[in-house]
Structure 1
Amino acid sequence: MNPRKFALVFITAPDLKTARKLARAALTARLIACANLLPHIESHYRWQGKLECGNEVLLVLKTTRSRLPALERLILAQHPYDTPEFLVLPVNGGAKKYLAWLAESCAAPPGAGTN
């Protein structure tokens, strides 16, 4: 299994409720195999010309590269931020069994169309 067909996606959310909603929507649509939610991160950034900081939740999503366009559409449609973070990192390696599970978890069920 070629690990380069997989990706990690980083997204920040304003709170756990929103992060859980986004993770559940992506899992239900089979756009991701897994979501890790890391609460209590402190973000520092420039927004509309001002330095800002605040608490957020970081989502780390595991998916296939073929699911990225649909995943991005879902996140942008459901995220409360005007400009949500959606960063994609390539996967350069991984345990064969885990990557096989990841691919299977993101595959459309038999008889279903792809997103």
Structure 2
Amino acid sequence: MSPTLEPIHRLAQGVRAHGPALLSGMPEPHDELMSLVWGPRFDREHAMGLVARQPSVAAHTLPALLAAADHFDALHAGAQGRLRRLIVRHRALCAVSVPAEAAHGERA
């Protein structure tokens, strides 16, 4: 993996590991994730609100979330933008797969 993509990959691994617990029950999880990384610094206040919603998983998600915040803040602007584009791309891919799954379920 290129040194340029390694920090983004590290952040993505954390989202894969802790995102489902942190974002469960949210109507638009991609919007929540994007709101954390929209500005030049990770929105720790919003992140604490997400953690507060899920006290049963806070012990596992909070340290990972704070580490992700530090990693994001250390990224240069180009890498931060790339991460945002990856979130948008993932959202689009999920939107395409949901109707296909729904159509498949209706035929069964």
Tell me which interval the TM-score lies in, with the shorter structure as reference length.
0.3 to 0.5
TM-score, scaled to structure 2: 0.34
RCO comparison, higher one (Cα < 8 Å, 6+)? 1
The structure in which a higher percent of residues are strand is: 1
User: Which of the pair is proportionally richer in helix?
Assistant: 2
